[in-house]
Amino acid sequence: MHKNYLGQMNNFEPKPIHFDFDGEERAAVLIIYTGGTLGMSYNSEGALVPSGFDHILSKLPVLEELKLRLSVISFDPPIDSSNIRIEQWGDIANIIKAQYTNFDGIVVLHGTDTMAYSASALSFMLEGLNKPVIFTGAQLPIGLPRSDARENFIGALEIASDYKNGIPIISEVCIFFNNILIRGNRAKKVESNHFDAFESENYPVLAEAGISIDYNYSALKKHKGDSSLIVKTAMDDAIIILKLFPGINRKTISAMLDTDHIKGVVLESYGSGNVPHERWFLDLLAQATANGKIILNISQCLGGRVIQGKYQTSSALEKIGVIGGSDLTIEAATTKLMYALANHHNLKDIKSWLSTDISGELT
């Protein structure tokens, strides 16, 4: 049975812990600590395990120099990001909703493995967002000498508190990592052994941090001061990802598409949206759409976009009702489909919403 998740904190408002530093405070930033490598430490068996936020704070005395009022809400216990669940996206969104007016910006400390999924999900859940929500983490724990955690965390705090003429420079969900700022629903983790873990192939970098932070103002989401935050945490997990490969057979695809409880399919096609032109394959897709299933076509390529009909092998998809996903990442496509199925109950509305740029996720 599929689940329509609403988040766990609808009736629970966790209280932030405040850290007071001496001197003038130029901004207030909320830190939501979910866990991840940044705050991990080694146990007696030599394995990395999540630690509390106090461990992070003890490694960063420089925080006092930022002149920020910092407050922290920690997941208890902290979690490895490979264990992140849909409910916890709702938890993060509901924390932001409860604390939104109390802070100038929010930093979410999160593991890297699923960070792009979480940032994408939050970009849809936080409708009308007009403050910075900056995800960051690390490839190495903050206690190690060569850790990237310090620069990532401090840079995220600076961006979350950066205002110009009383208006936040960033008004969207982003990822700050290895000195670059990326739109959250455009990000993809591409590296596990180096510090440059995230890329944005189909959209420009929003900022680069060197001696100063240089913002790419033309690429930023425009601030709308009159917008109000509306948080919708419902997500429907009745979806699958169907990644094509040469030799994929009829029985495999039929087993996936014929599953009764599945409502949506993210189809990872070749190149600019191409699929096998065999009749049995197209018939299976046609039968699925005729049965009310939503099929969202995105490319396996890191760069480029789906253009259904550019080649003969993709032209048939339009006729059978497959939705072209343009340049959506797999992370944005997955979370957008979950959100659409949970919050729109008419097939026409779902298809229209998936084809529309909601929060800068598609071109």
Average pLDDT over residues 158-175: 96
Show me where the domains of the chain are located: 4-231, 238-354
Which residue type does 95 have? I
Q: Which CATH number fits domain 4-231: 3.30.350.10, 3.10.450.50, 3.40.50.1170, 3.30.210.10?
A: 3.40.50.1170
Choosing from 37, 112, 233, 334, which is the catalytic residue? 37
Q: For residue 68, what are its two tokens?
A: 């920020």
Give the pLDDT of residue 310: 76
Average pLDDT over residues 5-19: 62
Find out whether 127 and 229 touch, Cβ atoms under 8 Å: yes
Residue 352 CA neighbour count, 13 Å, CB half: 7
Q: For residue 126, what are its two tokens?
A: 């936080």
Torsion of CA 352, 2, 80, 207, to 10 degrees: 0
Write the pLDDT tens digit of every residue in 87-101.
999 999 999 999 999
Share the mean pLDDT of the chain: 90
Write the pLDDT tens digit of every residue in 52-86.
667 677 777 788 888 899 999 989 888 888 999 99
Q: Which residue has the tokens 């003890």?
A: 58
Let me know how long the chain is. Answer: 363
Give the pLDDT of residue 48: 57
Write the pLDDT tens digit of every residue in 202-232.
999 999 999 999 999 999 999 988 889 999 9
**Which of 30-39, 102-111, 215-224 has the lowest average pLDDT?**
30-39
Is the pLDDT score of 22 beyond 80? no
Write the pLDDT tens digit of every residue in 265-290.
999 999 999 999 899 999 999 999 99
Q: Which residue has the tokens 């146990």?
A: 43
Measured CA to CA in angstroms, residue 136 lies from 38, 112, 190 at distances of 9, 8, 15
Q: For residue 356, what are its two tokens?
A: 């529309």
Active-site annotation holds for 37: yes
Give the pLDDT of residue 90: 97
Instruction: Give the contacts of 304 (CB within 8 A, at least 6 positions apart).
Output: 202, 271, 272, 327
| Band (9; pLDDT cuts 50, 70, 90) | very low
Q: Which CATH number fits domain 238-354: 1.10.10.10, 3.40.50.40, 2.60.120.40, 3.40.50.2300?
A: 3.40.50.40
Report the relative pairing of strands 198-199 and 188-189 from DSSP bridges: antiparallel
3-state secondary structure of 168: strand
- Same fold? 4-231, 238-354: yes
Is the pLDDT score of 182 beyond 50? yes
